[in-house]
Amino acid sequence: MNTQTIAFHHPVKRDIVPQRWSVEEVEELFSLPFADLLYRAQQVHREHFDPNQVQLSTLLSIKTGGCSEDCGYCPQSAFHSTGVEDRKMLELNAVVAAAKAAQAAGADRFCMGAAWREPSEEDMLSVVDMVKAVRELGMETCATLGMLNDEQTEQLRAAGLDYYNHNLDTSPEFYGDIISTRDYQDRLDTLERVRRAGMHVCSGGIVGMGESLTQRAGLVAQLANMNPYPESVPINNLVKVEGTPLADQADLDPLDFVRTIAVARITMPTARVRLSAGRQQMSDAIQALCFLAGANSIFYGEQLLTTGNPDVERDRALMDKLGMYPFADKH
């Protein structure tokens, strides 16, 4: 496939002529025999990446709980009683200390998350300082703060933000079953603003929320047909949190999670496909299959935003067992 390297703080490769995927075509990928699907995903992965390299990103919740949105999966929504407290925003020095610790542990990207529908003007002043300070440490920066307007994307770009994470979460058809307080178009609009401002886009979704196979394929098709598609695509397995409407959702077959990773890799060849939430509940064997299917980024560190993630020792042991090494080591 023809690609070109885009000059940026951290250069990324992009397809010159992106392919369009119909939902049916994506569904056909999901229906391939498992071995054929993984073989195709590995071919695409090896064409664009070192398959033994994994990017490590550490998350920090800079503002936890009390969110005014009603996302059915989320422990931080004020609509659900999950025991997550509404805390005020972290101070700059606490954020810098966490970023330094993440860097010392081997992470090369630091992602700051806030439980907001959208940031206020005052919030933005603090976030801008945080982005600048983390960038000064030499780490890649990412933030996920909810919806943004044009002025806010400009502020973040000027601060040097590398990636903005804003997930489509699911297909347009299933979205209304999960969230009622903002619509799909709001999300697409924010992503468009991030793109226009010149930042890298990080956008993906959650599987295992009760979506049909067609709806799962619909999410992947939406992401893959963005022009250009996101540089970074988090695939989250639903973390079922007591008190959320999705707490009793049936478990997704882990092999269907692996299939989702493979389909994301095939449809978005040059993206970092991120094996995101849900790893704590996953065996090493399933995670290994996810890497074989083309995942090449994980969240690294004991905590996601409010829920757990494998500890650093478990992840280091897993990488050693698989002969994998962090992106930063060979960069």
Q: Which is nearer to ligand DTB, 159 or 235 (CB)?
A: 235
**What is the C-alpha to C-alpha distance for residues 12 and 200, in angstroms, rounded to an integer?**
9
Alpha-carbon Rg for the chain, nearest whole angstrom, is 18
* Of positions 56, 60, 96, 115, contacts ligand SF4 by CB under 6 A: 115
Q: Which is nearer to ligand SAM, 47 or 85 (CB)?
A: 85
The pair of three-digit structure tokens given for residue 91, joined into one six-digit string: 């101070």
Coil/strand/helix, residue 287: helix
Coil/strand/helix, residue 50: coil
Question: Residue 134: which region, alpha, beta or left (left: phi > 0; alpha: psi -120 to 50)?
Answer: alpha
Q: How far is CA 16 from CA 165, 240, 268, in A?
A: 23, 39, 12
Residue among 121, 98, 122, 93 at smallest CA distance from 111: 98
Size of site (CB under 6 A) for ligand DTB: 16
Q: Which is nearer to ligand SF4, 115 or 233 (CB)?
A: 115
Binding stretches for ligand SAM (CB under 6 A): 73-74, 76, 113, 115-116, 144, 146, 166-167, 169, 206, 236, 238-239, 241, 277, 305
Residue 77 in the binding site for ligand SF4 (CB under 6 A): yes
* CB of residue 223 to ligand DTB, shortest distance in Å: 12
Residue 178 in the binding site for ligand SF4 (CB under 6 A): no
Q: Which is nearer to ligand DTB, 64 or 215 (CB)?
A: 64
Catalytic-role residue among 135, 187, 259, 274: 274
Active site residue 290: no
Diameter over CA atoms, the chain: 52
Residue among 157, 119, 167 at smallest CA distance from 135: 157
**Binding residues for ligand DTB (CB under 6 A):** 59, 75, 113, 144, 165, 167, 204, 234, 236, 239, 276-277, 304-307
**Binding residues for ligand SF4 (CB under 6 A):** 67, 69, 71, 74, 76-77, 115, 117, 146
Catalytic residues: 67, 71, 74, 111, 142, 202, 274
